[in-house]
């Protein structure tokens, strides 16, 4: 069964109500998380579980979706996903080990201040950002990205997943 990006975020928050990262998350930020799921599935020979997350507007995956969506949905339904927990934990640790040391995690206020400084000197590049876009940029800066990279990722997600993810 498919689930919209917004409903997926709502479900994740209800399952993990004390998770601060989920509490700050916005729908446009779901793209990188779905790419993580897609990579996990590909590495372990599973069908693309991320195919079940869809846009509310089209009820289909993002325009950049690779593969046969109908076939992928059927394949996902045929898998016993209960056996993936241990593999997921190992995969997560391996991905964390790949995080470049240049990442500089920040608290929310310093990230907001750094974003505002970047925004003030790059207003033209930021003119079409929404409040949710700004929140996702702040979230990514808190995770360690610099403002320019965070902006680039949000703009790419908007292009791939649409404004109303």
Task: Give the DSSP letter of residue 49.
Answer: G
Classified as helix, coil or strand, 107 is coil
For 15-49, how does the pLDDT look when each residue is reduced to its tens digit (9 = 90+)?
999 998 888 888 888 888 888 899 999 999 999 99
- Residue, of 65 and 138, whose pLDDT is higher: 138
Q: What is the chain's alpha carbon radius of gyration, rounded to the nearest angstrom?
A: 17
Ramachandran angles phi, psi of 107, nearest 5°: -80, 170
Residue 80, pLDDT above cutoff 70: yes
Of 1, 2, 6, 3, nearest to 164 by C-alpha is: 6
Quote the tokens at residue 165.
């993810």
Check residue 48 and give its pLDDT: 94
Q: What is the pTM of this model?
A: 0.72
Quote the tokens at residue 13.
């928050």
């Amino acid at each position: 069964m498919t689930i919209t990006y917004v409903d997926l975020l709502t479900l994740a928050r209800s399952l993990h109500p004390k998770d601060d990262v989920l509490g700050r998350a916005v729908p446009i930020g779901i793209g990188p998380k779905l790419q993580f799921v897609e990579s996990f599935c590909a590495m372990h020979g599973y069908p693309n579980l991320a195919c079940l997350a869809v846009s509310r507007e089209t009820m289909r995956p993002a325009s950049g979706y690779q593969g046969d969506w109908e076939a992928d949905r059927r394949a996902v339904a045929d898998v016993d996903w209960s056996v993936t927990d241990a593999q997921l934990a190992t995969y997560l640790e391996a991905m964390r080990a790949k995080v470049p040391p240049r990442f500089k995690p920040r608290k929310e206020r310093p990230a907001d201040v750094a974003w505002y400084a970047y925004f003030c000197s790059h207003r033209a590049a930021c003119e079409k950002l929404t409040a949710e876009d700004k929140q996702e940029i702040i979230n990514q800066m808190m995770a360690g990205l610099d403002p320019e990279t965070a902006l680039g990722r949000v703009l790419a997600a908007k292009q791939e997943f649409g404004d109303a993810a």
